[in-house]
Amino acid sequence: IGKENSSSMKEFILMGLSENQGVHKIHFVVFLLFYTLTVAGNLLIVLTVTSSWHLNSPMYFFLCHLSFVDICFSSVTAPKMISGFLVENNTISFAGCIGQLFGLHFFGCTEVFILTAMAYDRYAAICRPLRYPAFMSRRLCGRVLGVSWAGGFLHATLQTLPTALLPFCGPNKVAHYFCDVRPLLHLACADTRAEGLAAVANSGVISLDCFLILVTSYVVILLSLRGRTLAGWHKALSTCGSHIAAVILFLGPSTFVYIRPCGDLSEDRSVAVFYMLIAPMLNPFIYTLRNGKVRGAMRKLCRRKV
């Protein structure tokens, strides 16, 4: 079946973010700027954390890997989308489409798991401060990170393999600006109801479950702050506020896209911009504006480079 796919469907045409040709040049400039800020900002976070011995706590360990995943996640789709604004037909090969699908879910799911690990780190730091070093040892952090990458790989494989084995023999216009499961299922020459339900059960349940776990963890943190001083509240919330904002920007839109039944794909295109490009672009600003240690380490890094 895989050989028939590659011979009958050589390439797909990505419809893009908008079918209005008049706004493509504006989209090109805007999204090129967004992508440049995403790569530059997250790369600066990675270099700052890895070069500063002050930023050696588990929170910054996970932040460094989150920024690296953000770069990879955006790079899976953004360059192809941006270049597509300059051509009439933005084509992608069958192998490239399947590779984009795998990378999208691999890095996206890994990011979800890292965000969940960061929430547990904040819970341990605030609610169990005396036992925090034992809860979040370097070995445990390494294992959690390894499980996050392995979980992302397993999720991506379960999403990609069934889709790649479907027969594609009809229309080749993907109603999206990147290859994802739902748009590709619309093009398959077969009954794809089972694959559609499996995709919702896989991506949707992971997104929703992790979102609920994150919300529950912060409810527990807020309840544990009862009776503390105003300074204690401010310190705890200042460390959690950045993470809550990042979670809402990333998991909110992605949960909406993957948990709902198949519907209008134009809505998916609009919402996907938030978790594909906006959230990764804003993460460096979110985590640095309220964190004096990171800002100070960035200034030292820039002075050394200059």
CA-to-CA distance for 125 and 60, rounded, in angstroms? 13
Contacts of 35 (CB under 8 A, 6+ apart): 74, 78, 79, 82, 277, 281
Q: Where residue 5 falls among pLDDT bands split at 50, 70, 90?
A: very low
Sheet with 11-14: list strands edge to edge. 90-93, 11-14, 173-174
pLDDT given at position 3: 43
**pLDDT tens per residue, range 30-50:** 999 999 999 999 999 999 888
pLDDT given at position 194: 80
pLDDT given at position 236: 65
Establish if 193 belongs to a structural domain. yes
- Region of 174 (left: φ > 0; alpha: ψ -120 to 50; beta: rest) is beta
Q: What percent of the chain has pLDDT over 70?
A: 90
**pLDDT tens per residue, range 111-158:** 999 998 988 888 888 888 888 888 888 889 999 999 999 999 999 999
For 238, other C-beta atoms within 10 Å of its C-beta total: 12
Establish if 146 belongs to a structural domain. yes
Residue 122 is part of which domain span? 12-303
Q: In angstroms, what CA-CA distances link 161 with 92, 153, 181?
A: 18, 12, 10
pLDDT, greater one: 20 or 107? 107
Establish if 197 belongs to a structural domain. yes
Over range 87-98, report the average pLDDT.
Answer: 89
**pLDDT tens per residue, range 162-171:** 888 888 887 8
**pLDDT tens per residue, range 244-261:** 888 888 888 887 777 776
Establish if 4 belongs to a structural domain. no
Average pLDDT score over the chain: 83
Neighbour-count burial for 250-265, b at 16+ CB within 10 Å, e otherwise: bbebbbbbbbeeeeeb
**pLDDT tens per residue, range 53-76:** 888 888 889 999 999 999 999 999
DSSP 272-297: HHIIIIIHHHHHHHHHHHT-HHHHHH
Establish if 6 belongs to a structural domain. no
Establish if 2 belongs to a structural domain. no
Domain count, the chain: 1
CA-to-CA distance for 266 and 18, rounded, in angstroms? 9
The burial class, CB within 10 Å (0-12 / 13-18 / 19+), for 93 is middle
Establish if 222 belongs to a structural domain. yes
Q: In angstroms, what CA-CA distances link 292 with 54, 62, 233, 240, 288?
A: 12, 18, 18, 14, 7
- Domain CATH for 78: 1.20.1070.10
Which residue matches tokens 């398959």?
188
Q: Which of 14-18, 179-183, 208-212, 296-300 has the highest mean pLDDT?
A: 179-183
Q: Where residue 8 falls among pLDDT bands split at 50, 70, 90?
A: low
pLDDT given at position 257: 79
The token pair that represents 248 in the structure block: 């809402």
CB 63 within 8 A of CB 45: yes
Handedness of CA 199, 201, 204, 209 (dihedral sign): negative
SS3 of residue 179 by DSSP: coil
